[in-house]
């Protein structure tokens, strides 16, 4: 088998890696991205600790790239780490695919070409591409998972050979994967269970014991967390005690986001996953994957590998559907990377079976493989257009009003996790606003968060204590704090309407006034805010990025609720109009617009300062609530 694989030299493997890496590098983001990209940039500054489960392995790799690569911003260097790891995952996909196709009897040259095509199909899909151009943990996870699967394929292809080194290598990779994203790593167990069981049955329990030892060796990466808990700039969960360490590693904060706790019906979740696969691979590829599965399962030589790849596809698809929140969620695509690779390999297996049937007609088999390679390459431009972040600068433009321009010595109460992450990532790189204290409201329940904030700014203690006791911000606490320093509140549904009497628009935030806000204060602030929005939108143009559009839409929506509730209907209508430029048919904006017009009609347009009860429009629990009821951008 080894002699057959050497035919053709390193060319096919280099091709399988070089094209995805070049594509990722050419389309990588130079300014980070939304979601938790900013947080992962901050982690990469000094071996930080990200959100549970802490992602220690990602912290080591991103910091290494940030320190050792003298190219671009830190955000770009961390994105470069993703590009490198995504290309490495493509290499392991190629290697596993080639060995699979050789087992099916495709011949050395057709197997190599078909394996390159499978690697390109996977790496060029939207699911893979988007993880290779931004700071994220999923490209690393895909590299580890695909390496483990490659070793399992090697083990099955060599059966009944006695060499167990591939098993131990796969076990070590599993341990490392558990130290990066343990949920996705656990999903490997069903696929590898049959392989391990056969080895235990043939060799006794010793292989299982040794494999377990290699898993624990990989898990040793979690020692990183307590070592960095007191030293890292970003140390979410502060895992400096056994209880806090377990809280971080177990990802307790996210355990409610699954199964029956997800508001979307299970059938819709499954269909969302199927839609993502169809959009990423196309119906012809999925059809070939079904044929390839049938071809492998019906042949004794390919049955074990067919079961392996089928289990990978089914388990990862089912797990993502179980978790929900697939639609418009780039992170959900990261969960599907192994499934996409498995389906690409199964599709290649269909063509490998045809190549085997062609037998001595080698030229015809090679021509078939070349056509498959051309087909796989033809999808790259299409997905480059949708996944590229090469010209993305939306986060950089919005950093000005959200971070760089806030008043000196301000306290910023941020409700949107993405605002928090962008702040952490921006400050980790620029260190422009050490005078400002960011209060990450969604993370106040994290162990150690309140203690760190209170230690830095003792004057925050009453407000933090009140927020934890009441479950929301309290007006007396805000006004007391505002008497000594600027206090800015990010608008959100979690901001009680009772606070509106003390808030006035300032920049993209709302400033708390110690003596309360008058109608004139609010109107003047609204005028200034509207001018700033026009300036920013002129720079943004017509944003194409879906996450940028979602963030802008949410800002306009909650601002409209504030203006409507405080009786500033003209500004409420202006915010609705800005939102509808992004989502013309959004039902919540249309309903709010109609409510504002209806009120004006009933009053004969004599008054424009009557408050509107916005209770019917307060959906979900805040800007991070993935209920499916938030306003959604079009396109």
Taking only the tens place, the pLDDT of each residue in 422-461 is 999 999 999 999 999 999 999 999 999 999 999 999 999 9
Q: Give the separation between CA 602 and CA 619, rounded to whole angstroms.
A: 26
Residue 306 has pLDDT above 70, yes or no: yes
Q: Give the separation between CA 86 and CA 19, rounded to whole angstroms.
A: 11
Phi, psi of 272 (to 5 degrees): -60, -40
- Give the pLDDT score at 606: 41
3-state secondary structure 206-225: HHHHHHHHHHHHHHHHHHHH
Instruction: Report the chain's terminal Cα–Cα distance, integer Å.
Output: 49
Residue 263 has pLDDT above 70, yes or no: no
| Dihedral sign for Cα atoms in the order 279, 280, 283, 289 | negative
- Region 537-553 average pLDDT: 94
Confidence of residue 252 (pLDDT cuts 50, 70, 90): confident
Helix (H, G, I), strand (E, B) or coil at 329: coil
- Region 131-153 average pLDDT: 98
Confidence of residue 2 (pLDDT cuts 50, 70, 90): very low
More confident residue, 603 or 220: 220
Confidence of residue 10 (pLDDT cuts 50, 70, 90): confident
What are the structure tokens assigned to 9, written together?
């030299």
- Give the pLDDT score at 328: 75
Please name the residue ranges forming H helices in 240-379: 242-249, 266-281, 283-297, 300-323, 330-335, 337-358, 362-378
Q: Are 290 and 141 contacting, i.e. CB atoms less than 8 angstroms apart?
A: no
- CB burial class (10 A; 0-12, 13-18, 19+) of residue 259? exposed
Residue 240 has pLDDT above 70, yes or no: yes
Q: Are 569 and 613 contacting, i.e. CB atoms less than 8 angstroms apart?
A: no
Q: Is 604 left (phi over 0), alpha (psi -120 to 50) or beta?
A: left
More confident residue, 633 or 75: 75
- Region 568-573 average pLDDT: 96
Q: Give the separation between CA 151 and CA 176, rounded to whole angstroms.
A: 15
Confidence of residue 301 (pLDDT cuts 50, 70, 90): confident
Q: Hey, which of 284-298, 584-598, 621-635 has the most confident mean pLDDT?
A: 284-298
Unique residue bearing structure tokens 């990588």: 28
Confidence of residue 360 (pLDDT cuts 50, 70, 90): confident
- Give the pLDDT score at 162: 74
Residue 537 has pLDDT above 60, yes or no: yes
Rg (CA), the chain: 27
Q: Pick from 400, 394, 320: which is nearest to 550 by CA?
A: 394
What's the whole-number average pLDDT of the chain?
A: 91
Residues 6 or more apart whose CB falls under 8 angstroms from that of 367 comprise none
- Give the pLDDT score at 256: 63
What are the structure tokens assigned to 148, written together?
């483990």
Residue 18 has pLDDT above 50, yes or no: yes
Share of the chain above pLDDT 70, in %: 93
- Region 330-354 average pLDDT: 96
Residue 214 has pLDDT above 70, yes or no: yes
Q: How long, in residues, is the chain?
A: 635
Q: Are 533 and 582 contacting, i.e. CB atoms less than 8 angstroms apart?
A: no
Unique residue bearing structure tokens 């079961």: 307
Cis previous bond, 160, omega within 30: yes
Residue 542 has pLDDT above 80, yes or no: yes
Residue 291: CB atoms within 10 A of its CB come to 16
Helix (H, G, I), strand (E, B) or coil at 505: strand
Q: Are 113 and 268 contacting, i.e. CB atoms less than 8 angstroms apart?
A: no
CA distances from 626 to 1, 301, 623, 631 (A): 50, 46, 8, 11
Instruction: Please give the model's pTM, rounded to 2 decimal places.
Output: 0.93
Q: Residue 201 half-sphere exposure, CB side, CA atoms within 13 Å? A: 7
Q: Minimum mean pLDDT among 92-96, 188-192, 467-471, 564-568: which range? A: 467-471
Q: Is 9 left (phi over 0), alpha (psi -120 to 50) or beta?
A: left
- Region 315-341 average pLDDT: 89
- Give the pLDDT score at 309: 98
- Give the pLDDT score at 621: 44
- Region 175-187 average pLDDT: 96
Residue 511 has pLDDT above 50, yes or no: yes
């Amino acid at each position: 088998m080894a002699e057959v694989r050497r035919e053709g030299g390193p060319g096919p493997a280099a091709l399988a890696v070089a094209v995805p890496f070049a594509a990722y590098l050419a389309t990588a983001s130079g300014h980070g991205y939304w979601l938790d990209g900013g947080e992962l940039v901050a982690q990469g500054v000094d071996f930080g600790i990200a959100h549970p489960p802490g992602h220690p392995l990602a912290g080591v790799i991103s910091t290494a790239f940030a320190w050792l690569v003298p190219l671009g911003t830190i955000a770009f260097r961390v994105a470069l780490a993703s590009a490198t790891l995504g290309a490495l995952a493509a290499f392991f996909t190629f290697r596993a695919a080639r060995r699979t196709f050789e087992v099916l009897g495709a011949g050395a040259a057709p197997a190599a070409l078909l394996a390159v095509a499978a690697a390109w199909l996977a790496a060029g899909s939207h699911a893979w591409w988007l993880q290779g151009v931004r700071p994220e943990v999923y490209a690393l996870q895909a590299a580890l998972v695909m390496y483990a699967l490659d070793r399992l394929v090697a083990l099955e292809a060599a059966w009944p050979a006695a060499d167990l080194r591939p098993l131990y290598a796969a076990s070590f990779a599993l341990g490392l994967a558990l130290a990066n994203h343990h949920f996705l790593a656990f999903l490997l167990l069903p696929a590898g269970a049959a392989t391990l069981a056969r080895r235990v049955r043939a060799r006794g329990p010793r292989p299982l014991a040794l494999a377990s030892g290699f898993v624990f060796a990989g898990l040793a990466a979690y020692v990183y967390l307590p070592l960095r808990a007191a030293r890292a700039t970003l140390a979410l969960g502060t895992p400096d005690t056994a209880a806090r360490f377990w809280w971080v590693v177990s990802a307790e904060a996210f355990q409610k986001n699954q199964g029956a706790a997800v508001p979307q019906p299970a059938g819709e979740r499954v269909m969302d996953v199927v839609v993502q696969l169809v959009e990423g691979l196309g119906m012809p590829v999925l059809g070939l994957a079904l044929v390839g599965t049938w071809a492998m399962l019906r042949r004794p030589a390919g049955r074990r590998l067919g079961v392996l790849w089928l289990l990978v596809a089914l388990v990862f698809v089912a797990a993502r559907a179980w978790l929900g929140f697939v639609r418009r969620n780039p992170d959900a695509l990261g969960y599907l990377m192994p499934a996409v690779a498995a389906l690409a390999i199964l599709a290649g297996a269909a063509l490998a079976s045809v190549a085997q049937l062609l037998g001595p007609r080698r030229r015809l088999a090679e021509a078939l493989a070349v056509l498959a390679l051309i087909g796989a390459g033809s999808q790259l431009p299409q997905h480059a257009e949708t996944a590229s972040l090469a010209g993305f600068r939306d986060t950089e433009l919005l950093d000005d009003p959200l971070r760089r321009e806030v008043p000196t010595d301000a306290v910023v109460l941020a409700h949107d996790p993405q605002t928090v992450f962008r702040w952490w990532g921006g400050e980790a790189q620029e260190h422009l606003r050490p005078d400002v204290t960011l209060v990450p409201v969604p993370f106040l329940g994290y162990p150690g968060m309140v203690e760190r904030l209170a230690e830095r700014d003792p004057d925050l203690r009453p407000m933090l204590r009140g927020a934890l006791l009441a479950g929301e911000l309290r007006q007396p606490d805000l006004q007391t704090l505002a008497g000594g320093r600027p206090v800015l509140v990010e608008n959100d549904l979690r901001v009680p309407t009772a606070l509106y009497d003390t808030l006035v628009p300032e920049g993209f935030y709302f400033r708390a006034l110690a003596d309360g806000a008058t109608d004139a204060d609010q109107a003047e602030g609204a005028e200034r805010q509207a001018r700033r929005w026009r300036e920013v939108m002129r720079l943004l143009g017509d944003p194409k990025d879906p996450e940028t559009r979602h963030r802008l839409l949410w800002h306009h929506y909650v601002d409209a609720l504030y203006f409507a509730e405080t009786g500033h209907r003209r500004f409420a209508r202006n915010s609705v109009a800005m939102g509808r430029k992004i989502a013309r048919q959004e039902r919540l904006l249309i309903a709010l617009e109609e409510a504002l017009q209806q009120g004006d009609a009933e009053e004969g347009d004599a008054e424009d300062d009557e408050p509107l009860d916005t209770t019917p429009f307060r959906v979900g629990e805040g800007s991070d609530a993935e209920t499916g009821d938030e306003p959604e951008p079009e396109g």
